[in-house]
Amino acid sequence: MKVKMFAFAALAAAPIWAGSLEFTPQNTEVVIVPYAWRDQRAVRFAAQEMTNFLSRAFGAKVPISDRINPAKCSIVLGSNTWSVAAGIDTTKLPQEGFAMRTKGNAIYIAGVDANSSPWVNFGYFPRATLFGVYDFLERFVGCRFYFPGELGEIVPRLSSFTVPDTDVVSAPVFKERFFSESVGEWYDPDFKDKRYMQLSKLRLRMQTRPIPSCHGLRAFKYVQRFGKTHPEYFLMKKDGTRDIMDTEKPPYCMNNKLCFSARGLREEIYQDVKAYLTGLPPESRGLARWGMNCRYREYVDVMPEDGTVHCHCPECTAAYAAAKDPKDESNEQIWGYTIDIAERLKREGVKGNIMQMAYSTYRNVPDRKIPDNVVVTVCNNGSWVAPDRAERDYAQVKAWYGNVGKVKLYSNCGKHDCLNLNVPDVPSSTPRSMARFYNRMAPMTRGALCSNPADRAMYCVFNWYVFSRAAWYGHVDTDAILDECYRLMFGAAAEPMRAFFDELERKWMEEILGRSVDTAIGTANLVPGEFRIWTELYSPARLKPLVALVERAEASVPPDSMEAKRIALMRREFLDPMVNHSRKYSESLSVEKERARRAAARPKSVVAGEFKPVTIAVDKSMTGKPFHAVKFAADLKPGRRYRISYFVKGEGIRALSRRGGAQAVVWFNEAADMAKVVPDVGLDGTFGWVHQSAEVLVPAKLRCDFRPEVDLRMFFATGTAHFDGLLVEEVK
**Residue 47's CATH number:** 3.30.379.10
In a shared domain, residues 46 and 150: yes
d(CA 429, CA 417): 18
Q: Identify whether residues 18 and 159 lie together within a single domain.
A: yes
Rounded to 5 degrees, what angle do the CA atoms 433, 439, 440 make? Answer: 95
* Cross-strand pairs, 627: 715
CA pseudo-torsion sign 709, 710, 715, 718: negative
Q: 713 and 699 share a domain?
A: yes
End position of a domain, from candidates 588, 617, 646: 588
- Same domain, yes or no: 513 and 385: yes
d(CA 440, CA 160): 39
Give the pLDDT of residue 127. Answer: 96
Same domain, 389 and 457: yes
**What is the mean pLDDT for each group of 10 consecutive residues in the chain (732 residues)?**
43 46 97 85 95 98 95 96 97 96 97 89 88 98 96 97 96 93 80 81 94 91 93 94 70 69 96 98 97 95 88 92 81 93 98 95 92 96 85 94 96 76 91 96 96 92 97 96 98 98 96 64 67 94 98 97 98 98 96 96 92 94 88 91 96 87 86 76 94 92 76 95 96 89
DSSP 535: I
End-to-end CA distance of the chain: give it in Å, rounded.
Answer: 81
Q: What is the per-residue pLDDT for 188?
A: 86
- Same domain, residue pair 539 and 444: yes
Are residues 188 and 106 both part of a single domain?
A: no
Residues 718, 724, 725, 731, Cα dihedral to 10°: 10
Which pLDDT belongs to residue 39?
82
Beta carbons of 83 and 75 less than 8 angstroms apart: no
Q: Are the C-beta atoms of residues 383 and 433 closer than 8 Å to each other? A: yes
Q: 8: buried, middle or exposed (CB in 10 Å: 19+, 13-18, 0-12)? A: middle
Residue 295 CA to residue 300 CA, distance in Å, equals 7
Q: Residues 561, 605: one domain?
A: no
Name 301's bridge partners. 355
Same domain, 582 and 668: no
How many distinct structural domains can be found in the chain?
3
Q: Which domain holds residue 495?
A: 173-210+381-588
Asked if the structure places residue 573 within a domain, the reply is yes
Query: CA–CA separation, 682 vs 380, rounded Å?
Result: 26
In a domain, residue 125? The reply is: yes
State the DSSP code for 323.
Answer: -
Q: Residue 652's domain is classified under what CATH number?
A: 2.60.120.260
Among 559, 588, 617, the domain boundary falls at 588
Q: Is 373 inside any structural domain? A: no
Residue 375 lies in a domain: no
Q: Does residue 348 lie within any of the structural domains?
A: no
pLDDT score recorded for residue 123: 76
- 117 in the same domain as 45: yes
In a domain, 316, yes or no: no
pLDDT at residue 8, as a whole number: 38
Residues 526 and 465 in one domain: yes
Residue 613 preceded by cis peptide, ω within 30: no
Is-contact 230 374, C-beta < 8 A?
Answer: no
Instruction: Please tell me whether residues 465 and 610 are part of one structural domain.
Output: no
pLDDT for the residue 246 = 63
Residue 313, exposed/middle/buried by CB under 10 A (0-12, 13-18, 19+)?
buried
Q: Which of 558, 588, 618 is the last residue of a domain?
A: 588
